[in-house]
Structure 1
Amino acid sequence: MSVFPHLVAELGRLLEPALAESATAAAIVLFTVLVRLALYPLSRAAFRGATPVAGMLPLLLQLPVFFLMYRAFTSGGELLGHRLFAAPLGARWSDALGDGGPFGAQGLVFLGLFGAIAAVATWSAVRGRRAAAVAAAAAATAAAASAPAGPVGRAGAKAKAKAGTKGGTNAGAKGAAKGAAKGAAKAGTKPGAKSGVKAEVAGAGGVVALSAEQQEVMRKLGGVLPLLSFATLITAAVLPLAAGLYMLTTTAWSVVERIWLQHRKERAEEKERAEREVDRAVDREVDGGVRSSL
């Protein structure tokens, strides 16, 4: 027996005093959670990279485990006779239909599995559509912001540039005083003290402007890709019950994991925005003090 089915069997023995015949089914769920915990660093890196290829890596690494589990519940062995309530873990939906129909003892177990998978798929599809809509809106905003300035905008920019050159000595003195005061405020030292001031350069935003065609492709993909979650429902109807449990658990984990990672990303962005607001408030206070001193 392979190491993965052996681990499931051992987990089932540990859970058997509490769950009786359904212990192996609970062991499959627990085993799937352990696999996803081991893949969490890759999932986090894929989320940060936000590329389809990186996002497929955790799924590809699960395929060998899934195939071993599939063989364990189809080719015989000690796991084949275990059950989830009235349904054997090696049974398929067709077997349940032949043994009492969809509302028989086995059929009700499969209907419960299908209902759980459909709920997770619906949840994933709704969140996927919302994320696609947000991404499309951000791309449209970036495209509008990167549009070339018109004649009026260019004239205004030239006027500002000319006005900025007339300050001469006064502007230079004000800039020097403002820089010294800001450096002292950030470094926590007196204006005359010698201290190294670290310069921070805010780069341009990382949002890439997309063309109208690319935005249309993103909109269409955003409408179709979330529906692929329902393919799990079709697969669970063909594979053994044990494989359906694995797929339900890993799909639900993926949805919850993405929500968690998105929550952490939003919290980090809020923290950065708060820090920028504090920096701007300090800049305004320093600028006011410099102007009053001049």
Structure 2
Amino acid sequence: MSAFMSVFADLVEGLAELLEPLFQASAAAAAIVLFTAFVRLLVHPLSRAAARGQRERAKLQPQIAELRKKHKKNPEKLQKAVMELHAKEKVSPLSGCLPSLFQLPAFFLLYHLFSNSTIGGEANEMLAHKLFAAPLGGRWADALGEGGVFGAQGLVYLGLFAVVAAVATFNYRRTKRQMATGATGGVAAGGEQQVPGMGAVLKIMPLMSFMTLFTVAVVPLAAALYVVTSTTWSAVERAVLYRDMPGAGGAAMAATAG
């Protein structure tokens, strides 16, 4: 593992050197943003496949409505029948989770790289890099101890929080609007539940993006940059891929939040 982390550190360091003429002392931070964009490009085909899967699931809504009527008094039979329908039509209800799952290794690589003082038995030189005044290995609590909320480091985090809040608000308004236009994955337009257990998820779904604020506050700044960049990418990507699918983008957010 240490040898792999050394290779990854060299990769980030090399990319930072290439970007240094443009970004100076914040070149490593720019390298992380570029690395995140590259990961999202690799995952994009899965996101497109998830959108296609959501369209296929949307086509099944009339049949699911019939199953709901048939098994109105037996939630267990309803759930089994819905799963059998998905299997028959070769539609996976979990396809929307794949983009997030494939991103986790990249996030944990950055988290590990900027959380350890040594890599391969040697001092971790990546910790010397900064985003403006804030060390990439530091956390919001460290910034608060070095000048408070409006100190040089604290202002970097305020900027990240502002971006996250703007993206979360965009997602919140879009999801609420989509949920109001018609059926989502588990609730019919009239408010009747189609898939047991989805009602509770749909109630909190519009607020899920705001949880990213907590993540940014507690992880190393390098990992926080990954989260902010990836979350912003996801918001734009969903707006494009689900633009003609009322309600579907909200259901996708439940599976791919963050």
1:262 Cα deviation after fit? 2.4
1:235 Cα deviation after fit? 1.0
* Residue from 49, 54, 66 that aligns with 2:107: 66
**SS of 2:213 mapped into structure 1:** helix
- 1:102–1:6: structure 2 CA closer, same or farther, 3 Å change rule? same
Q: Which amino acid aligns with 1:20?
A: Q
Q: Deviations over 1:255-292 (max 9, x none)?
A: 111112124779xxxxxxxxxxxxxxxxxxxxxxxxxx
Q: Which amino acid aligns with 1:58?
A: P
Aligned equivalent of 2:127: 80
Q: Deviations over 1:23-59 (max 9, x none)?
A: 1111111100000000111111011112652111111
Does 2:163 correspond to 1:116? yes
* Residue from 35, 40, 54 that aligns with 2:95: 54
Aligned equivalent of 2:49: 45
Q: Using the alignment, how far apart are the partners of 2:98 and 2:152 within structure 1?
A: 38
Does 2:231 correspond to 1:227? no
Q: Using the alignment, how far apart are the partners of 1:91 and 1:55 within structure 2?
A: 32
Gaps of 5+ in 2: 55-91, 118-123, 247-258
- Cα contact 1:128–1:222 (8 A) shared by 2: no
Q: Using the alignment, how far apart are the partners of 1:135 and 1:4 within structure 2?
A: 46
What TM-score does the superposition give when structure 1 sets the normalisation length?
A: 0.62
Gaps of 5+ in 1: 144-210, 267-294
Aligned equivalent of 2:192: 212
Q: Using the alignment, how far apart are the partners of 1:79 and 1:33 within structure 2?
A: 20
1:222 Cα deviation after fit? 3.1
1:231 Cα deviation after fit? 1.0
* Residue from 133, 137, 157 that aligns with 1:90: 137
**SS of 1:79 mapped into structure 2:** helix
- Cα contact 2:188–2:194 (8 A) shared by 1: no
Q: Using the alignment, how far apart are the partners of 2:177 and 2:203 within structure 1?
A: 10
The structure number with the bigger radius of gyration is 1
Report the number of matched residues: 198
Q: Deviations over 1:43-93 (max 9, x none)?
A: 110111126521111111111111111111111312111001111111111
Q: Using the alignment, how far apart are the partners of 1:265 and 1:11 within structure 2?
A: 39
Q: Deviations over 1:78-120 (max 9, x none)?
A: 2111001111111111101111111111011111111111111
- Cα contact 2:193–2:199 (8 A) shared by 1: no
- 1:140–1:228: structure 2 CA closer, same or farther, 3 Å change rule? closer
Aligned equivalent of 1:101: 148
* Residue from 240, 265, 274 that aligns with 2:220: 240
Does 2:21 correspond to 1:32? no
Q: What is the aligned-residue RMSD (CA, Å)?
A: 2.5
- Cα contact 1:22–1:84 (8 A) shared by 2: yes
Q: Using the alignment, how far apart are the partners of 1:99 and 1:137 within structure 2?
A: 46
Q: Using the alignment, how far apart are the partners of 2:19 and 2:244 within structure 1?
A: 34
Q: Using the alignment, how far apart are the partners of 2:95 and 2:219 within structure 1?
A: 27
- 1:101–1:63: structure 2 CA closer, same or farther, 3 Å change rule? same
Q: Which amino acid aligns with 2:44?
A: Y
1:214 Cα deviation after fit? 2.6
